[in-house]
Copies of this chain bind each other. A is one copy, B any other.
Amino acid sequence: MQNFEFVSPTQFVFGRGVEEQVGQKLAAAGAKSCLLHFGGQSAVKSGLIDRIRASLDAAGIAYVELGGVRPNPEISLVRQGVRLCKERGLDWVLAVGGGSVIDSAKAIANGACIDEDVWTLFETKRVDHEVLPIAVVLTIPAAGSEASKNTVISNDELGRKTGYANNAHRPRLAFMNPELTYTLPEYQTAAGCTDMFAHLLERFFDNCEPVPVTDNLNLSLMKTVRTFAPVVLEEPENYEARANIMWAGMLCHQGLAGVGRVEDWATHGLEHELSALKPEITHGAGLAVLFPAWMEYVHELNPGRFAQYGYEVFGVAPSGDVLLDAQAAIDQTRMFFASLGMPTTLEELNVEEADIESMIPTLKANKGEPFGSFMRLTMDDARQIYRLAL
C-alpha cells in the first residue's frame, strides 16, 4: 500500500428537489455573488436555470450568467468567465451541468485568482494559488467532476486537450437530484456509465500489489454500475436506478477507489487524443473502444488481476486457466459496453489508420514517454493499441 494523501471536502446535498436549496446553502457558505455557468439550451428549456435564478434571488445572491459551454470545453470561454469574475468581483462559481460545465467552472475559478493567463496552469500544473469556491448542480452523472480534483480543457488554437489537478478546486457544494437526469439522451446516459466504469478500471489495473480495502471498494462500485447502467437505459425514470448511478458516478472518480495504489490512466490519455482530433467523439464512447484494446495489449503481464475482476464483476466461472479467465473478463467488458449501445471499433467513430500518426505527437506531449503503470507504454505501444481498436 503506497503512502497517500486524500481530501474530499465537498458537501453533498442529494435527493429529490435539492436544487431548490442552492441559494440558501450558498448563502450559508458565505457566498455574496456568483458566476452562473452552464452549457446549451437544455438546462434553460427544462426550467432548471429559472428555478436556480429564483433560488439565488430569494437568498439575495447576485449573479452574472455565462452559458454556452460545449462538450470538450474550450479555453476561450474559460477566459471570458475569468474576465467576468475579475471585472464584477464575483466570489463563487456555480456550475449547472455535467463534467464539461464543471471542468470549465474549475478552470475559471483558478483563472480568476491569478494574474497570468489561465492556460499557463495547464502547462505548469502549479497549485500554489487561491481558487474561487465552486458549487455544482449536477445534471449528467459521468465525469465525477462534481467532487474530483480534475479538470480537462481543450485549447483549439494549440490543438491540445489537457488535464489539470488541484485539490483546491474540488467543489465545496454539490447538489445531486437524480430526477434531473431522467431526460438525458440515451447515448449520453450510456457514455456516462462507460466513463464512470472506466474511472474504476484506471484505478484497479496498475502495477502495484493488491490493496484489498481499496480494491474491494472499487469492485463494489463496478458491480453497482454494471447492474444499474442497463436499468437506467431501459427505465429512464426509475428513481432508484438513477440515484444509484448518480452517486456511484461521484464515488468512481472522487479518489477513494484508488487510494494506496499507483493508478494507470494510460487509456484516458489515449482517449483524450481521439476527442482532441475529433471533438464530436463523446469521451465515454472513445473509452468504450479503447479500454478493451488496451486490455488485450497488456493483460498478459498480470492475467490474475484481470481474472479477479472477471470473477467478481461479471461472475466469470474460473476455468482453471487464468489466462483464459482474463480473456473472458476482457470479452465481458467489451460486451458490457456494447450492450449499452457504445461503439466497439474506431471505425464507428470515423477514425481510421491514417489518423493514428497524427495523434502521437500530442499524446507524447501530454503524457510523456513511457506512460501508464500496468505496462509502461512507448509511443509504439500506443500505435499498436490504436490499431487493435480499429
Contacts and interface: CB of A to CB of B under 8 A. Distances in A.
Given A3-B15, A14-B3, A14-B6, A259 B247 contact: yes
Nearest to A11: B7
A251 interface: yes
Nearest to A257: B217
A7 B7 contact: no
A243 interface: yes
A223 to B, nearest CB: 6
Interface residues of A, number: 41
Contact of A217 (B3, B221, B243): B221
A378 B290 CA distance: 58
A221 B219 CA distance: 11
Given A3-B16, A6-B14, A247 B260 contact: yes
A362 interface: no
A244 to B, nearest CB: 4
Interface in A272-307: none
A224 interface: yes
A5 interface: yes
B211 A216 contact: no
A247 B259 CA distance: 10
A1 B244 contact: yes
Contacts of A211: 244
A178 to B, nearest CB: 8
B223 A216 contact: yes
Contacts of A240: 1, 209
A340 B122 CA distance: 51
A384 interface: no
A24 interface: no
A250 B33 CA distance: 36
Contact of A213 (B9, B16, B251): B251
A260 B14 contact: yes
Nearest to A247: B213
A64 interface: no
A373 interface: no
Contacts of A332: none
A244 B5 CA distance: 15
Nearest to A6: B12
B224 A213 contact: yes
A224 B228 contact: no
Contacts of A127: none
Interface in A204-242: 209, 211-214, 216-217, 219-221, 223-224, 227-228, 239-240
3 interchain residue pairs of minimum CB distance: A3-B15, A216-B220, A220-B220
Interface of A: 1-16, 18, 209, 211-214, 216-217, 219-221, 223-224, 227-228, 239-240, 243-244, 247-248, 251, 256, 259-260
30 contacts: A1-B243, A1-B244, A2-B15, A3-B14, A3-B15, A3-B16, A4-B12, A4-B14, A4-B15, A5-B11, A5-B14, A8-B8, A8-B9, A14-B259, A209-B240, A211-B244, A213-B221, A213-B243, A213-B244, A213-B251, A214-B247, A216-B221, A216-B224, A217-B221, A217-B251, A219-B220, A243-B260, A247-B259, A247-B260, A256-B256
